[in-house]
Structure 1
Amino acid sequence: MNALSLTLAAAQSASVAGDLAANLRTHLAFVAAAAAAGADLLLFPELSLTGYEPALATGLALEPDDTQLLPLREACSKAGLTAVVGAPVQGAAGLQIGALILGADGSCRVHTKQYLHPGEAPPFVPGNGGELLAVQGLQAALAICADSNHPAHADAARARGADLYLASAVIGPTGYSSDSALLAGHARRLGMPVLMANHGAPTGGYACVGRSAFWQADGQCLIAAPGDGACLVLVRRVADDWQGEVCALPA
């Protein structure tokens, strides 16, 4: 990696089931906090804008040009950061689990989940991923939850030139140990740091445990949220040194 400085943030947010307006307010608060911390990129959990609610997803699909997203897009542009937020999207093959990439330049593009968990189809169909995301001269690959359970996904990202692996997740107490071990393994095997954002409260029947985290390229966990609840996990890279901290959101 050749960037001298970079600040990444994982938003450990809580989503209200199906309530886009409430969740947008939460996202705006996280953008403001990340901007104050100097973040270049802010990663949210899977389906963060709607909650992980497959039964409601058909009526909650968003398009990149949806006017409801404008305040959030404008906030990202004003702050000069890129945010990756989660929502259902309507693809050519059907409803997909998406990540909307809200660029610091005001743009919005879609990344879709390639590997579905059992029980997600229907209503969802597999997506086809998306392009790498440029951040401060580096290339980041996105993974949406089960994508990261497949080593082939991380391997393909690295082969395409990814320097970072960004995982938006829904992880409960029974899955955290194995899922975090997989993410650490990707980092160690591929020499590619990994940032993971998990929900900080229950969603879709999952008692999400939070513990959003960052693994360095040797697979060692640099920083992790101590548990659930809303917070920002921040990691800063200056030259070859990573530093991390967990920050509570301003009241």
Structure 2
Amino acid sequence: MKICLAQTEPVAGNIAANIQDHLSKVREAIDQSADFIIFSELSLTGYEPEMVKDLALDLEDSRLDEFQTLSDTHNIIICIGAPTKADNGVHISLIIIKPHQVRSLYAKQYLHADELPYFVAGPKQAGIIKAEKTISLAICYELTIPAHCETAKQNESEIYIASVAKTVNGVARNNPRLSEIAKTYEIPVLMCNCVGEFDGNIGGGQSGVWDLEGKLTTNLDKLQTGILIYQVP
């Protein structure tokens, strides 16, 4: 199974521009025969909490249709970071687009204190994608929560992927945790981050892969957009 990490530079609040960039990255992944592609936290809008009420999507949004067509045609699973509408507010979500299936989402269950004024926690769910391999999804702060990783273990996950929006310093703080997860559960761990400005900060990039021994085996740099393809052993 080939997994693609898409490191983008979201344009704050500009869904139309970000969709075009996302589609370009999906096509790059298809050209490299990827089976799965994931984007960073809130990649479709940028991580901009003060804008989310006006930007939140629902799963039936027609602007997602072209992603569905690419998924159906090329048999690729696409996970896009976006704020989504909830009955009681807005979720931080990964919209999951599978070939010839109804769209679904994984909503962030564990919110950082800074997010509480803007977002509501998602329902308790495993965040599991069943594909050629069993993939467990995490969104940023969740990777620091032991219970989240334990759920992944209980569901016999074979790969753990964190979609994040972190600065250079944030990446440095969390890399040891990603390494720890890989070693503890003996599964590859992947992290997909953004670059460029977001919410008054600068994305630190460095999307990468940790092996079963917790070693960072490959990553992108901290400034450039691009894709990283990981062939699961």
Instruction: Name the TM-score, length of structure 1 as normaliser.
Output: 0.89
Alignment counterpart, residue 108 of structure 1, candidates 97, 103, 108: 103
Aligned to 1:36: 31
Aligned to 2:157: 162
| Residue 139 (structure 1) aligned with residue 134 (structure 2) | yes
Alignment counterpart, residue 230 of structure 1, candidates 211, 225, 228: 225
Q: 4+ residue stretches of structure 1 with deviation over 4 A?
A: none
Alignment counterpart, residue 185 of structure 2, candidates 183, 187, 190: 190
Give the partner amino acid of 1:103: K
Q: Give the SS at the match of 2:198.
A: coil
Percent identity, aligned pairs only, is 30
How far apart are 1:91 and its partner, in Å? 2.0
Residues 117-166 of structure 1 show CA distances to partners (whole Å, capped at 9, x for unaligned) of: 22111110111245410121x21111010111212211211112211111
| Closer, same or farther: CA 23–106 of 1 in aligned 2, 3 Å | farther
Give the partner amino acid of 2:179: A
Instruction: Name the TM-score, length of structure 2 as normaliser.
Output: 0.95
Residues 183-211 of structure 1 show CA distances to partners (whole Å, capped at 9, x for unaligned) of: 11101101121111100222222211100
Q: Give the SS at the match of 1:201.
A: strand
Matches within 5 A, 1:1-251: 6-128=1-123, 129-136=125-132, 138-237=133-232, 240=233
Answer yes or no: is the 8 Å Cα contact 2:67–2:78 preserved in 1. no
Residues 65-107 of structure 1 show CA distances to partners (whole Å, capped at 9, x for unaligned) of: 1111111221222221101101111223321111100112353
Answer yes or no: is the 8 Å Cα contact 1:84–1:100 preserved in 2. yes
5+ residue gaps, structure 1, are 1-5, 241-251
Cα distance between partner residues in 1 of 2:148 and 2:229: 25
Q: Give the SS at the match of 2:221.
A: coil
5+ residue gaps, structure 2, are none
Answer yes or no: is the 8 Å Cα contact 1:76–1:106 preserved in 2. no
Say which structure is richer in helix. 2
Give the partner amino acid of 1:56: M
Give the partner amino acid of 2:211: Q
Give the partner amino acid of 2:35: D
Q: How many residues align?
A: 232
